[in-house]
Amino acid sequence: MNPFKRTLITSALPYANGPVHIGHLAGVYVPADIYARYLRLKGEEVLFIGGSDEHGVPITLKAKKEGTTPQAIVDKYHGMIKDSFQRFGISFDVYSRTSAPVHHETASEFFKVLYDKGEFIEQTSEQFFDQEANQFLADRYITGTCPKCGFEKAYGDQCESCGTSLNATDLINPKSMLSGNVPVMKETKHWYLPLDRYEPWLKEWILEGHKEWKPNVYGQCKSWIDGGLNPRAVTRDLEWGVPVPVEGAEGKVLYVWFDAPIGYISATKELTPDWKKYWKDPETRMLHFIGKDNIVFHCIIFPAMLKAEGSFILPDNVPANEFLNLEGDKISTSRNWAVWLHEYLEEFPGKEDVLKYTLTANAPETKDNDFTWKDFQARNNSELVAILGNFVNRVLVLTNKYYDGVVPAAGALEARDEETLAALLQLRAETEKALDTFHFHEALKSAMEMARLGNKYLADMEPWKVIKSDPERVKSILHICLQITANLSIVFEPFLPYTMEKLRGFLNFGKMGWNELGRRDLLAAGHRVNAPELLFEKIEDEAIQKQVDKLLATKKANELAQATVAPAKPHIEYDDFAKMDIRTGTIIAAEKVAKTKKLLKLTIRTGIDERTVVSGIAESYEPEQVIGQRVSILVNLAPKNLKGIESQGMILMAEDKDGRLIFVAPSGEIGDGAEIR
């Protein structure tokens, strides 16, 4: 039915500047792992690839901040990530890293092939350069005063005080973070991948050829393609990364987005010399499991790279998930708002599968979703413990009690028995259908139906009553219950691998393939099962409260950190201040600037004149609200053209931590044009 002989599953490479959290797991690794285990169980040829993404500017910055080397940073987090994945039971066939020699070779070679084929454009532009350190500076390497809030240590790409995103050229008094010197502008040459060349092809391949992709994925792609594609730089001026393998490119490395997806290829190479089978044979089906932030790279850019190279296969599907929130707020590494996998593994030992279950049941498949500890507890207690664990326990307790742990032979089956056994095959079909279409939430639900089926059968048959009147009949009932239990050990294998291993131990039963699922004779009469233990244990309120408290503490710490007032700027002379001509004024007209979110066009009576000022306050005020508002206005600021309107001056606003803006205005009776000093 499908023309493919094998499947290559890739999962987004986690960035090695921090540990992995439940957001990564729910969006990428848990679904990818379930799918990989499912295919393996079906006996298909599968390769499941993972690895750490270890290049890029943030890692070099972190290294600098901690006074160590980028390699030390990535060694630390790669080790941590790899270890927690392994303990958690993400069944990678290989977990590699982009700092590995094999990756440097592979990425380098890939670049070289495109370079030799003339697939790049060369372009020269001006960028900041540190003369003392003798290198170009990425935006993150420039620090200076934020033009908006005056925070002195703003980075070239973003001000961490007010959150504004910036260009390095916006900064007042830019300084190099390497030497502290003032950087100069200097020309630099880079290579670009002309994505525009692939537009017609992408249109056909995705928009025509892959209408089955998830709506979120397809929509994003369409948006990008319809919006027109531009050439994208594939190199950067940086020391940390894969060196650009052409002459005259000293001090340049491959840009991370070019480098990282090639990591999938390198990882495959690291695993097997037979890697080409997975990457170059059209009978291989490639799947990229990613989060929604990665859609454009995996659907547009990486395929364009592969296409440009010419000898690689393309992804057949890209099942991207949305984002997972935590207790109502966005997960954030820098704000420590996350449930970290390595901490979970320590605090909930032996409960790896519980987290997998919760994250699958709550997977952000079609929209962002919320993880709460309360929900985690409920899923564990009322589904895993009460439905699945309890059924298994009931069956095994009864078997031990009545038959000393030996599987009884079934007698003549009644209609209800037949129905129940037939339902196993039905549930298998439902689970399969959901898994085949990447509906993991639904798949898990139909697997759980099997345990419900057992509970209901048991409740209706009431063997504990029948045993008194018709002991022969009870043999049939428990025989069937045991077959259901054995089937459970198969159907849950992709989702709850550790637990199913445990269950097979209880049943004294070997691991069976997916194809055996639905059979009514998995356990032979006379087979001896073991004494039951508990499959899952209840999670008490205290354990949950502890986690909630931990998050509350984080929240408090964040608020405190936010409450810290930006430090004072260095002294200036009175003359510096005196240069500023600040006056009282009144807003006499206001309207929204078309096609902007934040801008209002204000007409201000300054006493001197009436003038136009464009101000970024539209998120705090409606135009009608501000008419008549008294203001303080800097009148001798050089005019600046904004969105086609000449802005003559600047309104003084006070801004709180939430970005709310308040007018700084005269507090008593005073006319327009009064000098403020």
Distance of closest approach, residue 551 Cβ to RNA, in angstroms: 17
Instruction: Establish if 157 lies at the interface with RNA (CB under 7 A).
Output: no
The region of 24-32, 86-94, 257-265, 362-370 touching RNA under the rule CB under 7 A is: 362-370
| Residues of this chain, 159-198, that bind RNA according to CB under 7 A | 164-165, 170
Say if residues 289 and 10 touch (Cβ distance below 8 Å). Answer: yes
- Stretch near RNA under the rule CB under 7 A, chosen from 175-183, 453-461, 571-579, 603-611: 453-461
Q: Which residues contact 631 (CB under 8 A, 6 or more apart)?
A: 584, 585, 586, 587, 604, 651, 652, 663, 664, 665
Interacting residue with RNA among 634, 665, 674, 676 (CB under 7 A): 634
Span between the terminal Cα atoms of the chain, in Å = 81
Smallest distance, Å, CB 589 to RNA?
17
Residue 211 contacts RNA per CB under 7 A: no
Q: Encode 188-238 in three state secondary structure.
A: EEEEEECHHHHHHHHHHHHHHCCCCCCHHHHHHHHHHHHCCCCCEECEEEC
Residue found under tokens 């993880």? 371
Q: Tell me the C-alpha distance between 15 and 20, whole Å.
A: 9
Asked if residues 252 and 237 have their Cβ atoms less than 8 Å apart, the reply is yes
Neighbour count for residue 190 (Cβ, 10 Å): 21
Q: How far is the CB of 270 from RNA (least distance, A)?
A: 31
SS3 string of 250-303?
CCEEECHHHHHHHHHHHHHHHHCCCCHHHHHCCCEEEEEEEEHHHHHHHHHHHH
Q: How far is the CB of 381 from RNA (least distance, A)?
A: 7
Q: Minimal distance in Å, beta carbon 387 to RNA? A: 6
Size of interface with RNA, in residues (CB under 7 A): 81
- Residue 65: exposure state from Cβ atoms within 10 A (0-12, 13-18, ≥19): exposed
Give the per-residue contact string, 222-251, with RNA (x = CB under 7 A; - = no): xx--xx------------------------
655 is an interface residue for RNA by CB under 7 A: no
- What's the min distance (Å) between Cβ of 644 and RNA? 10
Among 369, 485, 487, 584, binds RNA (CB under 7 A): 369
Q: List the interface residues with RNA, window 6-65 (CB under 7 A).
A: none
Give the shortest CB-80-to-RNA separation in angstroms: 25
Nearer to RNA, 307 or 452 (CB): 452
360 scored as a contact of RNA (CB under 7 A): no
* 118 touching RNA, by CB under 7 A: no
Q: Position 574: which residue type?
A: Y
Cβ(39)–Cβ(95) below 8 Å: no
Closest separation in Å from C-beta 237 to RNA: 20
- As a whole number of angstroms, the distance between CA 585 and CA 632 comes to 6
C-beta closer to RNA: residue 222 or 657: 222
Q: Please identify which residue in 79, 200, 209, 219 interacts with RNA, judged by CB under 7 A.
A: 219
Rule CB under 7 A: say whether 460 interacts with RNA. Answer: yes
Output 102 or 421, the one with its CB closest to RNA.
421
Binding of RNA by 362 (CB under 7 A): yes
Contact between 657 and RNA per CB under 7 A: no
Distance of CA 663 to the CA centre of its chain: 39
Per CB under 7 A, which of residues 293..312 are in contact with RNA?
293
Q: Considering only CA atoms, which of 660, 664, 677 is closest in space to residue 617? A: 660
Distance CA 381, CA 360 (A): 16
Of 147 and 251, the one with the shorter C-beta distance to RNA is 147
Please pick, from the candidates 112, 416, 465, 546, the single residue that binds RNA as defined by CB under 7 A. Answer: 465
Residues 404-443 that bind RNA (CB under 7 A): 441-442
Residue 145 interacting with RNA (CB under 7 A): no
Q: Are 175 and 183 in contact (CB under 8 A)?
A: yes
Q: Is 144 in the site for RNA (CB under 7 A)?
A: no
Please state, in angstroms and as integers, the Cα–Cα distance from residue 245 to each residue in 105, 116, 299, following that order. 10, 11, 26
